[in-house]
Amino acid sequence: MVIRKLNEGEKTPMELLLLADPSREIIEEYVTRGECFIGEVEQQTIGAYVLLPTRPETVELVNVAVIESQQGRGIGKRLVLDAIKIAKTKGYKTIEIGTGNSSIGQLALYQKCGFRITGVDMDFFVRHYSEKIFENGIQCRDMVRLSQDL
């Protein structure tokens, strides 16, 4: 897999990003302010992530998505590790990420990649999303915040 920055004028892989975030409006907002990177195999986009500068020396990994047919093959981990590497090369000191309380696999992945839980934004998904979200039989209500020093 080759991971590269999405070129200017190139179409945002919206359907892919919607796998990780159900709100098209929220994705459009952060994609315009951040940088989108895609993972490709033989010119087919199979993964993507978005880095969004949030504060001086801090960047947030706001979306990590892998097409369903390729999930469970370590691609998400490669994308997260690439995001950490890119953040370091850009001079950021901290990288943050947030995920739903119901996102069991993602919570494990981020911790395996060196992130530590720093807090919980109670009812984040209730406040910001009109539709209820369920994963793993659990209602996604709270945003679990994680970060790591670079």
Q: Which fold has domain 2-149?
A: Aminopeptidase (3.40.630)
Helix/strand/coil for 64: strand
The C-alpha atoms of residue 59 and residue 97 are separated, in whole angstroms, by: 9
Q: Residue 136's closest CA among 108, 110, 97?
A: 108
CA torsion sign for 69, 74, 78, 84 is positive
- Domain spans of the chain? 2-149
pLDDT tens-digit map of 71-96: 999 999 999 999 999 999 999 999 99
Write the pLDDT tens digit of every residue in 3-47: 999 998 999 999 999 999 988 999 999 999 999 999 999 999 999
pLDDT for 55 beyond 90: yes
Could you say which DSSP state residue 68 is in?
A: G
